[in-house]
Structure 1
């Protein structure tokens, strides 16, 4: 066996042991070399494809454009070119190959050497990861809560749009910085106290009211959950996720609601007190009306008596006047007045005492003593 035969044999052995596919194309774009790895990728045997057009390895819709590219490369330098090319197998399965091509100038002609590998699954995985990453970003951006995440070195690697709006700081000024170096105007002392207390135990901690400064400079309150990220399988700390919400308006609403409820309670209390006071006031008023009428009738009777006494003293009294006085006395019903007037006075005094007691109780309620 000559040296040329040995070289060809060794070259063939080398090509067939390379894991990447190798194809050599001549100036007519025909396949002249097709190694074992290429056979596995495309499904053709070397006997089936050698001598055939290399363009049958690409989809028909791309054969013209790929043909133009290959023809141009045949007239170019030896420069290596890396491309991703949609291809098609013997069973018409679409794949994507990553190929590096070089132009070979030999004594027997010009050739294109293509070394390639099937990256279909890799590409699909990358596309799927990119899609999942995009979906995750969309999900994170759609969450109505503030999200801040730091890694195991305390460097911020997540700062969602709600966090940007809450602090008035764009993520570009925050992501990549250590937490303590970030321009976040919140109660750092309280945050780090909670991290120190429970972070080392990998426990979730909750700060119900955390003071912070809003973008307009006003004071605000946020509710925040500090969630350590811990990989149980690796027994390793991975960082912390801060999940928060601006509760300033919620707190203001709660205060207004509490005030409204307080006013409502005061209104109900006032209505009850008014009812309690109204009852004794009513019978005091009724008794006063009775006493006023009785006083007026008695006063008229007394005036008649005085008039009669004057007439009798001057000798002008008569029987008719005496009968008139007797009739007035009967109408007055002195026996009834003697019995009812003291009771009316007593009831009125009792009613006023009850009102005074209620008023005193209200004063004590509204102004409790130090001892109470």
Structure 2
């Protein structure tokens, strides 16, 4: 029986035995009800105890969350009035929580921010969904940035969470500024910067790339990198390497600077330095390419190399010139002896011929008169034995051939001296006709087997102020090239000989030299590069590619002239050289005594052809030159006087003592 029911029955009946029997069954039910009630109450109390602990723990957890979150929490009614406010431990409200209760959240910030909150609250009420907004406030001379999120609750109340995003905004600003700086660097870089995806499609194209390659950014974006700017053979090499990279991740030029030939939009070839670097972002591969146009630098390098070659060439020419001058001097002296003596023999043979003719007459008369018949018979026998008739016929021919050979040697020696000009470092007035003739003589072995030489030189061509040895080298290079071109076209003369034509003309203030050949002409693809240093159309080992580059440098840079060419495939090439004419001042009168050389012209000009006329007169010449290069003084072997032989433009010969 339940203890409470027992206590009540004892108070009422004094003893349980005094309880009437008819009540015992009823009282037993009441006892059971009390017992069940106690049990239920015990269970309820236990549940209440557990719920209270959980609520306390939940409140503690929420307090901990509020403490660690860097946010402000507002509970609002539907109009935006603040019902409650909580903040994290590190959040600065700049006022107490209690002072905010009852105020409208849209009235707390500055008007501009309040307006944003009002618009956001209206949107939440209509859409029943979360709305976020960002705003900034100035505090302690710094600008702070915030993000507010407003969420609707089921009971028409609203929850607003405000977070300080100043650090994030500053990071975003710094990122944007960094991107802007990077963009400025890319846009103002002196190198062309090109970005590509893994397939080689262009995704970045900076302004320098536009200037370097001619494609605008809108034109270049989306195009294939290799097809847009790489020269054909470079394109094939790049495409093969890109395929290898896609297969095994190996790309030989990655991280290296290499020199390649690129193409401008207009088809011009450019020399560029290329460096490609891979970029991996979220497991996606990109490429950045840096390209620098080095065409000008290459040109300067070529010019420097050409200058070095020219310097070395000049040094060699000077050494060869000194050697040639020495050899020419050594050959010239005995050649003069041989020539003089041969001419002496020729003249004395004419005298001897007259003696022999008289002797023949004497012998004929003596034979008829039978005077000293034995002696006459002996002389006739000796004459017959010596075959005097043959000797008298052949000796003049032999002498003429000897004189021709001496003249040939003299011509070669003169050409060697004229061609070499050893030690000449200053420009001198030069007869281009004579320079060309000397060059033709010097290089005769190059052309005589493959070509005929046609020479059309203007007789009164004015002098040119030049460096003779370097200009001779220009003529030599072009004539030798012409011979080689004809040799290739005629199989070194096996298919007939070609023709080299050289013409000089005075045109305005320029002397013009035209050198033509009947070779195969210059290929069209090579015409734009024939004056480039080290460019040659000849086979390996047959040319250095320096000849025409040196020719252009000498004619254009050193003499202020021009060099051009006209060519036709299968018919030949003509090089046209134009050089300034040297303006010579009038020479002073040669003698004060008008009795000597009376009537001399004020302007005089020495003609080399006079030398042969004087040689014929048995006068040995000694010539001197003035500073303008005019050769005028000649010495006579028949007296101790110096005679000057000159010829004016009307070819009148003048003499002054």
Q: Please, what TM-score do these two structures have when normalized by structure 2?
A: 0.35
Displacement, 1:274? Answer: 1.9
Q: Take 1:81 and 1:201, find their aligned partners in 2: how far apart are those partners?
A: 51
- Which of 143, 148, 156 aligns to 1:99? It is 148
Displacement, 1:97? Answer: 0.8
What number of residue pairs does the alignment pair up? 298
- Which of 214, 217, 230 aligns to 2:267? It is 217
Matches within 5 A, 1:68-147: 78-79=125-126, 82-87=132-137, 94-100=143-149, 114-147=160-193
Q: Take 2:168 and 2:298, find their aligned partners in 1: how far apart are those partners?
A: 52
The match for 2:287 is 240
Matches within 5 A, 1:258-269: 258-269=305-316
- Which of 199, 209, 234 aligns to 1:163? It is 209
Q: Is this contact kept in 2: 1:145–1:244, CA < 8 A?
A: yes
Q: Is this contact kept in 1: 2:116–2:133, CA < 8 A?
A: no
Displacement, 1:71? Answer: 6.7
Q: Take 1:88 and 1:269, find their aligned partners in 2: how far apart are those partners?
A: 82
Q: Is this contact kept in 1: 2:123–2:131, CA < 8 A?
A: no
Q: Take 2:258 and 2:121, find their aligned partners in 1: how far apart are those partners?
A: 71
Displacement, 1:143? Answer: 2.6
Please say if 1:46 is aligned against 2:92.
Answer: no
Which structure has the greater CA radius of gyration?
Answer: 2
Q: Take 2:287 and 2:197, find their aligned partners in 1: how far apart are those partners?
A: 7
Matches within 5 A, 1:1-372: 21-23=72-74, 31-37=82-88, 40=91, 42=93, 44-50=95-101, 58=109, 63-67=110-114, 78-79=125-126, 82-87=132-137, 94-100=143-149, 114-152=160-198, 154-175=200-221, 183-184=228-229, 186-187=231-232, 188-196=235-243, 200-201=249-250, 203-205=252-254, 208-229=258-279, 238-282=285-329
Q: Take 1:36 and 1:69, find their aligned partners in 2: how far apart are those partners?
A: 22
Q: Is this contact kept in 1: 2:133–2:149, CA < 8 A?
A: yes
Q: Which runs of 5+ in 2 are unaligned?
A: 1-54, 348-408, 421-440, 447-476, 485-539, 543-657
Q: Take 2:119 and 2:284, find their aligned partners in 1: how far apart are those partners?
A: 55
Instruction: Name the SS for the 1:144 alignment partner.
Output: coil
Q: Please, what TM-score do these two structures have when normalized by structure 1?
A: 0.56
Q: Take 1:360 and 1:226, find their aligned partners in 2: how far apart are those partners?
A: 54
Structure 2 CA distance for partners of 1:250 and 1:293, relative to 1, 3 Å: same
Q: Is this contact kept in 1: 2:106–2:115, CA < 8 A?
A: no
How far does the alpha carbon of each residue in 1:78-97 deviate from its partner, in whole angstroms, 9 at most, with x for none?
A: 357543211367x8875211
Q: Take 1:287 and 1:150, find their aligned partners in 2: how far apart are those partners?
A: 78
Q: Take 2:100 and 2:106, find their aligned partners in 1: how far apart are those partners?
A: 11
Q: Take 2:258 and 2:79, find their aligned partners in 1: how far apart are those partners?
A: 76
Q: Take 2:444 and 2:319, find their aligned partners in 1: how far apart are those partners?
A: 12
Displacement, 1:113? Answer: 6.2
Instruction: Name the SS for the 1:271 alignment partner.
Output: helix
How far does the alpha carbon of each residue in 1:230-287 deviate from its partner, in whole angstroms, 9 at most, with x for none?
A: 69xx9x6733332222233333443344334333333222222222222344466677
